[in-house]
Structure 1
């Protein structure tokens, strides 16, 4: 378990799946996702891969809760290895429930995840991918000190995703 001023992030457990699906199936949380809301099958696969990542690497995506209401998961996110085209990179990702938006939680979480990756895990660099129309997430990554270093053509027929990086 890791804490920030207002958040607790912890290793996910099987009981978190229902909330994971609820957040990732919500059309609002997927407005910048060309794939749209997650189906139940995709959510089950993604959640299983998140738990597997923890087993394999002893870190991964966290369940994010508010300190003052730890029973309510407001999002999921963390650091995990992800393919950027052909190259595997340490990726920072997150998705928050709409009721958690506009409170600075994403920035608070992102700064803590970067601190954990660079200091606790001793990683030299962390990457993030964001769709070019997702202005809110672009601002979060930039507030956390990440710099755009290029684009990744990861979705056929769509503009490339913006690639951000921060170095230790």
Structure 2
């Protein structure tokens, strides 16, 4: 399933994306706010990507490979919605990670808006959540720009301040 926005092409990832998947997830800068740090092991990256592919195969949606219409062969990031554990509770989570050269261009906001629209309109999900580290101001701005509201905290990183939990709810159409 391919989805598009004004500037982005969102498609299911493939094993052919492994090199760029690993490069983006292994980059220390793209993982500055990731408590797990960079994904330095290529086998770990392959395992994670194969898990995403399995999710796509089973559910028909998941994290997209993100390209621009201008250069549809170059993956600039990965993101979208997929289930994630929030402590003991599984929630539909919005997440994304972009290559450094794609930062500051509004792609994350465009992806986030498309992901919420897909979750609410196509999947008919009642809500979508996101986790963000309190110091990650750029991601906080993205979440708030697309209408997500801070709901709670999640003590998910031992020895550090809790992460912030954001939520967006599907609104019922007005009759």
Q: TM-score, normalised by structure 1?
A: 0.98
Superposed CA offset, 1:22-69 (max 9, x none): 001011101111221112233122111111111221110000001100
Aligned to 2:86: 84
Q: 2:21: which partner in 1?
A: 20
Aligned to 1:32: 33
SS of match in other structure, 2:135:
coil
Residues 55-104 of structure 1, C-alpha deviations (whole Å, 9 max, x = no match): 22111000000110001100000110111101110001000001000000
Aligned equivalents of 1:35, 1:141: Cα separation in 2: 21
For 1:112-151, what aligned pairs fall within 5 Å after superposition?
112-151=114-153
* Aligned mates of 1:97, 1:120 — CA distance in 2: 28
Pairwise CA distance, 1:137: 0.3
Pick from 57, 64, 69: which aligns with 2:66?
64
Q: Which piece of structure 1 moves more, 3-12 or 153-162?
A: 153-162
- Aligned residue pairs total 168
User: Match of 1:104?
Assistant: 106
Q: Which moved more, 1:155-164 or 1:134-143?
A: 155-164
Query: Which SS does the other structure have where 1:70 is aligned?
Result: coil
Aligned to 2:173: none
RMSD over equivalenced CA pairs, Å: 0.8
Measure the CA separation in 2 of the matches of 1:123 and 1:43.
29
Which stretches in structure 2 are left out of the alignment for 5+ residues? Answer: 171-175
SS in 1 for 2:29: helix
Query: 1:15 and 1:45 mapped to 2: Cα distance?
Result: 14
